[in-house]
Amino acid sequence: MRQSLWDPVVIAIALVLAIPVFVIVGNVFVPAGEVWQHLYSTVLSDYITNSLLLMIGVAIGSLLLGVTAAWLVSMTEFPGRKHFEWALLLPMAIPAYIIAYTYTGMLDFAGPLQTSIRELTGWGYGDYWFPEVRSLQGAAIMMTLVLYPYIYLLARAAFLNQSLCVLEVSRSLGNGPWKTFFSVALPLARPAVIAGLSLVLMETLADYGTVQYFGVSTFTTGIFRTWYGLDNAPAAAQLAAILLLFVFVLLTLERYSRRKARYHNTSRGQRTLGRFRLKGWNKLAAILICFFMLLFGFLLPATQLAIWAIDTAAEVIDEQFFSLVMHSLELAASAAILVLVIALILGYGRRLNPTPLIRSVVRIASMGYAIPGTVIAVGIIIPFGYLDNLLDSWIRNHFEFSTGLLFSGTIFALLFAYMVRFLAVSLHAVETGLERITPSMDEAARSLGCRPASILSKIHIPMLKSSLLTAVLLVFVDVLKELPATLILRPFNFNTLAVKAYELAADERLADASSASLAIVLTGIVPIIILNRSISSHGERSLGER
C-alpha cells in the first residue's frame, strides 16, 4: 500500500469502529428529564465511590500478582518454574462472574465451609467472624484472581525481550536482583505493565455479572438500573458516556506521562544471562507465591466446577452441547483473526504517521473495552437497524423487492461487536510490540526503497510474532467468555457456551451451569498453552541464538 493511502484507511476503519461510542456519546444531547437530579441526590456518589474503590483494589492486587509472577518465572530459577510459567495463565480462562458464583458457593454463610464450622462449634449467625465474599473487597479479589494474567502475560514477554546488556550492566555495577528489578527491569517493562493494567481496569469497569451478584452498586449496575428500572435509556447512555470520558482521560494521561520516553532496544542481547538461582527461603517463597496464585485463581474454582459437573453433566450434555462448543470456537477464532488484522493496520498506521487526528480516532475506537457489552450492543443495534431499514426502503423504491434486514441479527453484527469490544486488547499487544522495534529499522528499510506495507510484512510482522500471538489468543479467550453482546446480537437458534452457562447460572442453578463453564475453561486452556510455548521459545531464542 502507498504511504498516502494509509492515513485515510486508518481513519476510515477507526471511525467505523467508533460508531457505537459515538451513538452512546450522542445521547448526551438528549434531554433525560429530572432523573439526574434524582441520581445526584441518591445513588450517584455510591456508583462513583464503589467503581473507584474497585478499580484501585483490582489495580493493586493484579499489579502485585502479575508483576511478581512475571519476574519470578522469567528471571529466576526454582523448582516447578517451567510448569508455573503456563499454569499461571490459566485463571484467564475463567469468566469473572463464574469464579464469583463458585467462591460464593463455597464460602458463603449457607455454603459448606461455614455450615460445617457452625455444626462443629454450635455457633449461629453473628457468633463468629468470617470474611464476606459478596462485598466490595470480595469483588476486587475475584477480579484480581482472573485478571492478573493480563499483566503477567505482557510483563513476562517484556522481561524476556529486554536487552540483556542493560541488565548485565546493572549487575556489573553491583546492583543486586532487587535493585536491578526496581531501577532497570521494571521501568523498562513499563509500557507492557501499563498496557496490561489498562486492560485490567477497563475490564473491571465493564464488569456487570460479578458486581450485580455481589450487590455492589457501581457505574455499570447504575447504567442498567437507570435503563431497566427507571426506563430512561438516554440517562443510562449518559452515564455510559461519563464512564467513557473517564477512560479517555485515563488513557490520555497514561500516554502523556511517558510522552518522551522510548522503550526500544538499540542493541539486542548477545548471550544468555543466567537466571537468578533462588536458594533456601527465597526458593520456598517463590514456589509458595506461585502455588497460591494458581490454587486460588484456578485449582480451587475449577475443582469445584468439576465436582458440580460430574453430578449434573448427564442432564446438561446432549448433542446440542457439541454445537455450542463449535459455535464458541468458530466465533472466537474468526473474531481473534479479524481483530488482529485491524489492530495491525491501526497500530502500524499510528506508528507511520502519529498525527493528533489519527491518534485520537484510534483511541476512541479502542474504548469499547471499557463499556459494558450490553451498552456496546445497543450502540450497534441502533445504527445497524437504521442502515438496514434505509437500504431496504431504497432498494424497494428502485428495484421493487425487499432486502429485509441484511446486517441486524447476523453473525456479522456479532463479529462487529467483538471488533469494537476487543480492539483494545489486540491493539495494546501489537503496540507494545511495535514500541520495542527501533524506528531506525523502518528508516533503513525506507531508504532501501521499501513501501510501508512491505516493511510491515517483511520486518515488523516477523519481529512481532510473539506480540501478535499474544493479541490473537487474548481476544480468542475474551470472545469465548464474552456474554452480554453475544446474548443480544446473536441470530436465531444460535447459542454459545457462555450463553448456556449464563442462562443457568443466572437462575442460580450453578451446578447445572458448571458443565458449560468448565467447557469454556477447557477450550480456553489450549490456546493458553500454545501462547505460552511461543512466548517462552521466542524469549529463549532471543536469549540464546544471537
Partner 1 sequence: MTNKNSWFKNSWLMNTWLVAIVVSICGIVSVPANALSEVKMPEAKIQEVNIYSARKEALIKPLLDKFTGQTGVKVNLVTGKADALLKRLTSEGMNSPADILLTTDAGRLHRAKMAGVTQAFQSKQLESAIPSRYRDPEGQWVALSLRLRPILYMKGKVDPAELSSYEDLANPKWKGRICIRSSGNIYNQSLVASLIAANGEAATEQWAKGLVANFARAPKGGDRDQIKAAAAGQCDIAIANTYYLVGMLTSSDAAQAAAAKKMAVFWPNQKARGAHVNVSGAALTRSSKHRDNAIKLIEFLASEEAQQWYAEINGEFPARIHVPVSEVLKAWGEFRADTLNLSRLGELNTQAVMLMDRVGWK
Region 333-372 residues binding partner 1, contact defined as CB under 8 A: 333-338
Query: Cell for 494?
Result: 444460535
Q: Is 128 exposed, middle or buried, given 0-12, 13-18 or 19+ CB atoms closer than 10 A?
A: exposed
Scanning residues 27 to 46, which ones bind partner 1 (CB under 8 A)?
A: 38-39, 42-43
- The span of 117-125, 157-165, 168-176, 428-436 binding partner 1 (CB under 8 A) equals 117-125
Among 325, 415, 529, 543, binds partner 1 (CB under 8 A): 415
- The span of 68-76, 237-245, 283-291, 388-396 binding partner 1 (CB under 8 A) equals 388-396
Among 290, 331, 471, 521, binds partner 1 (CB under 8 A): 331
Return d(Cα 476, Cα 534) in angstroms, integer.
16
Scanning residues 429 to 448, which ones bind partner 1 (CB under 8 A)?
A: none
Among 70, 164, 511, 519, binds partner 1 (CB under 8 A): 511
Scanning residues 147 to 166, which ones bind partner 1 (CB under 8 A)?
A: none
Q: How many C-beta atoms surround the C-beta of residue 413 within 10 A?
A: 23
Scanning residues 304 to 323, which ones bind partner 1 (CB under 8 A)?
A: 311-312, 315
Rg (CA), the chain: 24
Return d(Cα 546, Cα 542) in angstroms, integer.
7
Nearest distance from C-beta of residue 363 to partner 1, angstroms? 27
DSSP 8-state secondary structure symbol assigned to residue 41: H
Instruction: Give DSSP secondary structure letters for 190-253.
Output: HHHHHHHHHHHHHHHHH--HHHHHHT---HHHHHHIIIIIS--HHHHHHHHHHHHHHHHHHHHH
Nearest distance from C-beta of residue 503 to partner 1, angstroms? 4
Nearest distance from C-beta of residue 545 to partner 1, angstroms? 9
Q: Do the beta carbons of residue 163 and residue 80 sit within 8 Å? A: no
Nearest distance from C-beta of residue 388 to partner 1, angstroms? 6
Q: How many C-beta atoms surround the C-beta of residue 60 within 10 A?
A: 12
Helices (H) and strands (E) in the chain, counts: 28, 2
Q: Do the beta carbons of residue 87 and residue 291 sit within 8 Å? A: no
Nearest distance from C-beta of residue 197 to partner 1, angstroms? 28
Query: Cell for 453?
Result: 506495507
From residue 62 to residue 81, what is the string marking binding to partner 1 with x (rule CB under 8 A)? Answer: --------------------
Among 85, 203, 207, 388, binds partner 1 (CB under 8 A): 388
Nearest distance from C-beta of residue 202 to partner 1, angstroms? 21
Residue 509 binds partner 1 (CB under 8 A)? yes
Scanning residues 3 to 32, which ones bind partner 1 (CB under 8 A)?
A: none
Query: Cell for 181?
Result: 528489578
Query: Cell for 435?
Result: 514500541
Half-sphere exposure (CA, 13 Å, Cβ side) for 456?
A: 20
Q: Which of 104, 176, 96 is nearest to 142 (CA)?
A: 96
For partner 1, the closer of residues 287 and 333 by Cβ is: 333
Return d(Cα 361, Cα 15) in angstroms, integer.
7
Cα-based angle 99, 104, 110 (whole degrees, multiple of 5) = 160
Exposure string of 435-457, with b = 16+ CB inside 10 Å and e = fewer, is bbbeeeebeebeeeebebeebbe
Nearest distance from C-beta of residue 149 to partner 1, angstroms? 20
Nearest distance from C-beta of residue 111 to partner 1, angstroms? 9
Among 107, 242, 406, 529, binds partner 1 (CB under 8 A): 406
Residue 107 binds partner 1 (CB under 8 A)? no
Residue 112 binds partner 1 (CB under 8 A)? yes
Nearest distance from C-beta of residue 148 to partner 1, angstroms? 25
Scanning residues 476 to 505, which ones bind partner 1 (CB under 8 A)?
A: 487-495, 499, 503-504
- The span of 166-174, 342-350, 363-371, 457-465 binding partner 1 (CB under 8 A) equals 457-465
For partner 1, the closer of residues 64 and 306 by Cβ is: 306
For partner 1, the closer of residues 79 and 215 by Cβ is: 215
Q: Which of 207, 261, 182, 251 is nearest to 428 (CA)?
A: 251
Among 409, 433, 452, 539, binds partner 1 (CB under 8 A): 409
The enclosing H or E element of 76 equals: strand 76-77
Among 62, 78, 134, 146, binds partner 1 (CB under 8 A): 134
Compute the 3-state secondary structure of the chain and give helix, strand, coil in percent, each to the nearest 5.
80, 0, 20
From residue 190 to residue 229, what is the string marking binding to partner 1 with x (rule CB under 8 A)? Answer: ----------------------xxxx-x---x--xx-xxx
Q: Do the beta carbons of residue 237 and residue 24 sit within 8 Å? A: yes
Among 144, 161, 220, 232, binds partner 1 (CB under 8 A): 232
For partner 1, the closer of residues 289 and 415 by Cβ is: 415
Residue 276 pairs in a beta bridge with: 76
For partner 1, the closer of residues 257 and 507 by Cβ is: 507
Among 31, 174, 274, 462, binds partner 1 (CB under 8 A): 462
**Lookup result for grid cell 512491505:** 454
Q: Do the beta carbons of residue 69 and residue 148 sit within 8 Å? A: yes
For partner 1, the closer of residues 178 and 401 by Cβ is: 401
- The span of 146-154, 280-288, 364-372, 373-381 binding partner 1 (CB under 8 A) equals 373-381
- The span of 105-113, 171-179, 247-255, 418-426 binding partner 1 (CB under 8 A) equals 105-113
